[in-house]
Structure 1
Amino acid sequence: AVIVWVSTREALAGKLNAGQFMGLMTSMMAIIPSLRRLTSVQTSISRGVAAAERLFGILDLPVERDEGIKKIGRARGELAFEHVMLRYREDTGIALDDISFVAKPGTVTAIVGRSGSGKTSLIRLVPRFYEPNGGRITLDGVPLEDYPLADLRRQVAMVGQKVMLFDDSVGANIAYGMDASEDQIRAAAEAANAWEFIERMPQQLQTPVGENGALLSGGQRQRLA
């Protein structure tokens, strides 16, 4: 509005001819999209700052303690909790208090309790996602902290209630993170009771699963995971 008013006044005063007036109007119209883009810069900057805060929040976290030197290829699987206690730093309460039990190899140990009673916290102590504040946890008689983290976590498989699958084949999802042969993939599928539905698929291990396993049922997704 200011440009139009100034241009009109200058034209009426004889300081702008018709060509110069039209040139000024055309330039004004051409600059409007750029001005609009400038108004959206603040939104982009705010989004970038928020993302950077989350990213640097992760980068600034203390590095996991990994001082174990006892190498392990394949664990026998005897897991023992001895008077384990866990307290979250941001919480004054105790999440776990004096937990003791032994999970023997070749058996199934079920942790049962009300919602919020600490079942997930207890399981996360096994791969050392959390560190106990008291007591100790041993695997085959050796404290967990004596194993290198990579070796320890190689012994643990976790399947959550909400599974994550990649938009790839059945075989690629089973072998993710490993250079596995087809025989190893099939053995893993059979151990997870997944081969019974995989062998009925048109391409078996090469069958696509869709985005996040959309082409599979809920039970099939969990067994594949």
Structure 2
Amino acid sequence: MKPKNPVLRDELQAVLWSLRREFAVVGVFSMVVNLLMLTPTIYMLQVYDRVMVSQSHMTLLVVSVICLFLFGVMAFSEWARSLLLVRTGVKLDQMLSQRVFKGTFLAYLNPSDSAPAKAFGDLTALRQFLTGNGVFAFFDSPWVPIYVAVLFLLHPALGVLALVFAVVQGCIAWFGHGLSKEAQRVANGAQSETQGFLSSKLRNVDVLVSMGMLDGLYRRWRDKQVKALLLSGDAQQKTGVLTAVSKFVRYTQQSLSLGAGAWLVVVGEISPGAMIAANVLMTRALAPIDLLVSTWPNFLSTKEAYERLRTLLQLSPPGRTDVLKTRPVGQLSLENVTVRLPGCAKPVLDGVSFVALPGTVTVVLGPSGSGKSTLARAMMGIGLLPEGRVLLDGRPITDWTRESLGPYVGYLPQDIELFDGTVAENIARMGEVNSDAVIAAAEAAGLHQMILRFPKGYDTPMGQAGSFLSGGQRQRIGLARALYGEPSLVVLDEPNANLDDEGEKALLNAMHWLKSKGANVVLISHRPGVLSVADRVVLLQDGQLVASGPRDGVLQALKEQR
């Protein structure tokens, strides 16, 4: 019967468990290495106690050849386990990189205390620890009792001395953990806060430079940097104390073991060969513990990285499994949708229900802060998980994988971000470029002639085009991206916020184009010009649905209320 897998708490633990065979093989090679570490001890005993007494050259030659062979086997085992760990680290990265990549983006959709920007650094830290010296200490530590047992065979006093030093070094590692763990955690948090503060401000460099805000920003950054340096220095000081004490114990152990062996030789308890062998063996016996102490700070930081990765994967579970195989009609139904921010009693959206039909334009109106953008994200199945249901063609929009659903939906958020690549690649959503579909989307957004005036037309790198694009032009490229592929459902959040009269006219033409294609368009806006293309109007206020229905009926009801 196959042994049952243990109950795995999380996805990251399951991935590490799937690599158990690789780690088991590393354990076998570690067993060979540690057994063959006894070779120098045995060789010394043979040379001092057999060869020196017998004066036999042949015995020395045979013993030396056997020793060299065993050293070769040990070197091969060292190389093999290092190579296997490196390949295991690569395999771990391949198993997690896609999940971490997607999880990093998905984590930004939900307010939390996680640090998604650190995700790949955390994955690298975990991989490097599993392929570095620190993990060898964990594989070698179980062999410490074997070495101590051999010392007991040489003489009980040597075994007792090794046990004493093993306990002392173990206590150093244990107390060092309590001494440095909290200090290291606080220092890492302060350093991350400092780096995050600076990187977030670099995105607004034009505002900072133009209005002379750098000096004030520097003072704020300097205060955070000084605090981080002080905390880091405190953590390093505590770690330095741990390292210094560990070195003192190690040097004391080397000297005392040699002195104890010499005393035993003087009283006739052991031979000179056993004295030298015992000194080497005791050093080897305590080496894994010493390595544990020296790599302890790295272990602590890797443990924090592991916890952050685990939290990230928990916040962005794979979830969707069904693949959308046919083009959806595009009917969107919201049933009692409620969205709450963590820690806030009042919901951002409170029991919103309405239906948006294919081939129509539904305009969502409402003052700032009424929950319109939150509604747009809920309709796209992103952001905070809502209470109630958001249905696309009668099924929850979150049922399908985003990769299969994405080509059939278009989304234009308020903040337009264009990515590295050409204009055509940005419109094609950074996928394979279908030239006809790109041009059709650009023409629908009224961009075709403007793009042809770029230095390389559709092949212009966005790094060049982005430097001279206005906010309205960037918004229209974002609109073309949303229209790419003639999606069945299009959600536009304030698409005319940065548009001039020409841009707004192009937007209205795009709405007519989408309606002619049978798309379901939900347009969020505070400008009345878009009402001319509206079939239905939804009015939000303080997160609640105030009115919903055909355009003329809703507008008439609002006039009567006034």
Per the shorter chain, which TM-score range? Answer: 0.5 to 0.7
Match of 1:219 in 2: 472
Given the alignment of the two structures, is residue 131 of structure 1 paired with residue 385 of structure 2, yes or no?
yes
1:56 maps to: 308
For 1:85 and 1:45, the matched residues in 2 are separated by 34
Asked if the contact 1:95/1:121 (under 8 Å) is kept, the reply is yes
Partner of 1:185: 438
Question: Given the two structures, how large is their TM-score scaled by the length of structure 2?
Answer: 0.29
CA-to-aligned-CA distance 1:109-132 (integer Å, 9 cap, x gap): 221111111111111112322322
Contact 1:82 1:99 in 2 (8 A): yes
Is the Cα contact below 8 Å between 2:424 and 2:438 reproduced in 1? yes
List gaps (5 residues or longer) in structure 2: 1-186, 196-300, 479-562
Q: State percent identity of aligned pairs.
A: 37
Question: Partner letter of residue 204 of structure 1?
Answer: G
Query: 5 Å matches for 1:1-225?
Result: 46-48=190-192, 56=308, 59=312, 61-64=314-317, 66-69=319-322, 71-129=324-382, 130-133=384-387, 135-210=388-463, 213-225=466-478
> CA, structure 1 residues 198+70, in 2 after alignment: closer, same or farther (shift >3 Å)?
closer
Counterpart residue identity of residue 158, structure 1: Y
How many angstroms does 1:89 deviate by? 2.7
Q: Deviations over 1:45-76 (max 9, x none)?
A: 95357669899387265233624536244322
Letter in 2 for 1:170: V
Letter in 2 for 1:47: Q
Deviations 1:117-161 (A, max 9, x none): 11111111123223222x211111222233234333443322223
Structure-2 separation of matches of 1:224 and 1:136: 31
Q: Is the 8 A contact 1:165 1:212 kept in 2?
A: no
Contact preservation (8 Å) 1:86, 1:94? yes
Q: Which runs of 5+ in 1 are unaligned?
A: 1-42
| Deviation of the 1:223 alpha carbon | 1.1
Task: Give the Cα–Cα distance (whole angstroms) in 1 for the partners of residues 193 and 345 of structure 2.
Answer: 32
Could you tell which deviates more after superposition, 45-54 or 124-133? Answer: 45-54
Conserved 8 A contact 2:327-2:408: yes
- Residues 108, 92 of structure 1: CA spacing in aligned structure 2 closer, same or farther, 3 A cutoff? same
- Give yes or no for contact 2:454–2:465 (8 Å, CA) kept in 1: no
d(CA) in 1 for partners of 2:464 and 2:308? Answer: 30
Shift of 1:174: 1.7
Secondary structure at the aligned position of 1:158 is classed as strand
Q: Distance in 2 between matches of 1:164 and 1:150?
A: 20
Contact 2:424 2:433 in 1 (8 A): no
CA RMSD of aligned residues (A): 3.2
How far apart are the structure 1 equivalents of 2:456 and 2:323? 43
For 1:70 and 1:174, the matched residues in 2 are separated by 24
Partner letter of residue 207 of structure 1? T
Q: Secondary structure at the match of 1:171?
A: helix
Paired amino acid for 2:385: E
2:192 and 2:373 mapped to 1: Cα distance?
33
Q: Give the aligned length.
A: 182
Cα distance in 2, alignment partners of residues 207 and 219 from structure 1: 18
User: Could you say which structure has the larger radius of gyration?
Assistant: 2
Of 117-126 and 161-170, more deviation after overlay is shown by 161-170
Aligned partners of 2:425 and 2:431 also within 8 Å: no
What SS is found at the alignment partner of 2:403? helix
Worse overlay, 110-119 or 175-184: 175-184
Matched residues in 2 for 1:150 and 1:181: separation? 17
Distance 1:95 1:45, change over 3 A: closer
Check the 8 A contact 1:85/1:96 in 2, yes or no: yes
Q: Which one has a larger percent helix, Structure 1 or Structure 2?
A: 2
Does the 8 A contact of 1:209 with 1:216 survive in 2?
no
